[in-house]
Amino acid sequence: MTLKTTLKLTAAAASLAILAGCASTSALEEVRQTAESAQADAAEARSIATQAQNTANQAQRDAQAALQMSEQNRDEMNRMFQRSMQK
């Protein structure tokens, strides 16, 4: 469940409890539990997103290093070819 969906459901549940007028203690407790669950889900989603961002950043660094190495290899091969053609 996404953060937006969770927050929307929480807001809807809270609105229904308020609109009901005489909300019972159990209804308020249910809304509180729903809100706490939504907060926990949001924290977990944030943690997963942070991990995904860190992984993506590492992949970008690895790709940059591979590109640089490939360019160095290409340059070296070109120099070797040029030397072989001069002989």
pLDDT 10s digits, 22-32: 557 787 888 88
How many domains does the chain contain in total? 1
| Amino acid letter, 36 | E
Domain range for 77 is 59-86
Q: Is residue 81 included in any domain, yes or no?
A: yes
Q: Is residue 66 included in any domain, yes or no?
A: yes
pLDDT band at 46 (very low <50, low <70, confident <90, very high): very high
Q: Is residue 77 included in any domain, yes or no?
A: yes
Task: Give the global pTM.
Answer: 0.56
- As a whole number, mean pLDDT of residues 46-57 equals 96
Q: Is residue 28 included in any domain, yes or no?
A: no
Q: Is residue 76 included in any domain, yes or no?
A: yes
Instruction: Find out whether 27 and 20 touch, Cβ atoms under 8 Å.
Output: yes
Q: Is residue 79 included in any domain, yes or no?
A: yes
Tokens, residue 80 = 């070797």
DSSP per residue, 71-86: HHHHHHHHHHHHHHHH
pLDDT band at 70 (very low <50, low <70, confident <90, very high): very high
> In residues, how long is the chain?
87
